[in-house]
Amino acid sequence: MLKRKYGYSLLELLIAVTVLFIASFYLFSLYAYGCKAAKNTRTANTSVFLAQEKLEEIRPFANDLYTKSVSGEFAEPYEGYKWKAEIKPFLDTFGLLQVSVWKKNSPPCRLRVLCANPSCGSVSSHVYDSEVVYTVPQDKIAFKCNSYWENSNQTFNNPKSLGAWKTTSLVGHPGRGLVWLADGEQAKVARCVYVDNKLTNCDVFVAPNTTGGQKPYFIDIAGDIMGNYLFVADSANQGIWILDDSQAKTQWVGNKYLPCYEDPLDGISGLACDQYGENVWVCEGAKRSLRLFSGGRWLTKLEVPYSGNSLLKGIAVNPWGSAIYTFDSSCLYILIYSDLPRWQKVSLPLELIEQDPQGICCDPYNSRLYMNTAKGKPWLIVPQSDGRVFKEYFKQTGWK
């Protein structure tokens, strides 16, 4: 008697085909994503190259742009790329030459450089000058600027166009002449450019009316190194605002503040971001905790693992986002942010404690920390390459 031979059943065949289809779909999706990422990278790099080339081409003839802007398209092999050049005049004798290059369905690349109008001889700006800007409320001025390369101390008054203005926070872009000022009570921010002891006219942006929220109060601001995005901490609504300055029209993202619905923020005392604005850290003073905002979402919440009898006063982040610094009236706390976050606690020098530390910021080019005080001069803190700080690295400095 012959034995019957069995093959695969229809069910087994369907399961095998389904598994094969899912695996193939996943692999093709990865391939498509990789191709898209590579294409976007090539487009971005090409846009930067073309913008630099066009900027150098137009710069000698920048005076002609004071009356009208110019635009056009690139020839082969860069067909599809468009460009636009324009000058935005500032107070007295200076202008800002801006060249934008873009391709359809891709974000634009914008390069800016200070230039002189026909009544001025020449002007230059140095991108990598190490400068520090700081407020002086008691003198009723907008801010001061110190350049360690030139050992100069400059004072700038508020532009008349600002009217009644009280600076509650500011952020500067070293060497680029760009400073953002915030007026907390009026919920406004001003974009200022300063050159040769002269502060130009400022563009002012007002927070839009919010539905169901309180009147905003801007307690702190931070910006990426390129000046594309400004992040604003709103202590009245316990959230943050984002001002997008990367497009042709500067505007508030979503025209609303961004709260954390799952675990509401409480007692915001400051915020800071890395050099690209990808990770924004918010400091909750009363809760002694830090919050991470990234990719349009609220993510990590980390509590300072050390007890203290005072509020956290401020926060700073190094350029790479790998070290976050916060402090209270007696200690500096360092979060080394990695796959396994770890903390370090450093007692502040007695002289610094007596001067009442008020604020902290990080130089975006060399990772040095500056701590401002209410009763004395600023302090310089030099972290190690991994972000850690030791007490002997504190040094009192001053403005010459």
- Give the CATH number of the domain where residue 82 resides: 3.30.1300
Question: Within a domain: residue 124?
Answer: no
Question: Within a domain: residue 296?
Answer: yes
Question: Within a domain: residue 204?
Answer: yes
Residue 267 backbone zone (phi > 0: left; psi -120 to 50: alpha; other: beta) = left
For residue 87, list its beta bridge partners: 97
CATH code at 160? 2.120.10.30
Helix or strand holding residue 31 (H, E): helix 10-58
pLDDT digits (tens), the chain, 400 positions: 555 555 667 777 888 888 888 888 777 777 776 777 777 778 888 888 888 888 878 777 766 666 678 888 988 888 889 998 887 665 444 567 788 888 887 777 877 776 655 543 333 333 333 344 444 444 344 444 444 334 445 555 566 667 777 888 888 765 566 788 888 888 899 888 766 656 666 788 998 876 567 889 999 999 887 778 899 999 999 999 999 887 778 889 888 889 988 889 999 999 999 888 889 999 999 899 999 998 889 988 999 988 877 899 999 998 888 899 999 999 999 999 877 889 999 999 999 999 999 888 887 766 788 888 888 788 889 888 888 888 778 888 765 4
Q: Is 192 found in the same domain as 76?
A: no
Residues 179 and 223: their CA atoms lie apart, in Å, by 10
CA 129 → CA 126, 150, 177, 216, 276, distances in Å?
6, 9, 10, 34, 19
CA 70 → CA 26, 58, 88, 97, 315, distances in Å?
46, 10, 13, 12, 43
Q: Is 340 found in the same domain as 224?
A: yes
CA 391 → CA 37, 349, 362, 382, distances in Å?
45, 7, 17, 10
Residues 113 and 225: their CA atoms lie apart, in Å, by 15
Query: Which of 116, 151, 181 finishes a domain?
Result: 116
Q: Is 140 found in the same domain as 108?
A: no
Q: Is 380 found in the same domain as 312?
A: yes
Question: Within a domain: residue 3?
Answer: no
Q: Is it true that the peptide bond before 77 is cis, omega within 30 degrees of 0?
A: yes
Question: Within a domain: residue 125?
Answer: no
Q: Is 142 found in the same domain as 103?
A: no
Query: Which of 88, 116, 144 finishes a domain?
Result: 116
Q: Is 138 found in the same domain as 108?
A: no
269 φ, ψ (degrees, to nearest 5): -120, -5
Q: Are 103 and 51 in contact (CB under 8 A)?
A: no
Tokens in use for 102? Answer: 């873009």
Tokens in use for 73? Answer: 């398209």
pTM: 0.62
Question: Within a domain: residue 22?
Answer: yes
Strands 198-199 and 203-206: unpaired
Tokens in use for 5? Answer: 């031979």
Q: Is 165 found in the same domain as 108?
A: no
Q: Is 268 found in the same domain as 213?
A: yes
3-state secondary structure of 52: helix
Q: Is 190 found in the same domain as 294?
A: yes
Query: Which of 72, 91, 116 finishes a domain?
Result: 116
Residues 45 and 106: their CA atoms lie apart, in Å, by 12
Q: Is 265 found in the same domain as 205?
A: yes
Q: Is 29 found in the same domain as 166?
A: no
What is the count of structural domains for the chain? 2
Question: Within a domain: residue 385?
Answer: yes
Question: Within a domain: residue 337?
Answer: yes
Containing structural domain, residue 158: 131-396
CA 34 → CA 13, 40, 43, 387, distances in Å?
32, 10, 14, 33
Q: Is 152 found in the same domain as 111?
A: no
Helix or strand holding residue 20 (H, E): helix 10-58
Tokens in use for 1? Answer: 């008697």
393 φ, ψ (degrees, to nearest 5): -90, 5
Give Cα 269 to chain centroid, integer Å: 17
The one-character DSSP state at 329 is: S
Helix or strand holding residue 25 (H, E): helix 10-58
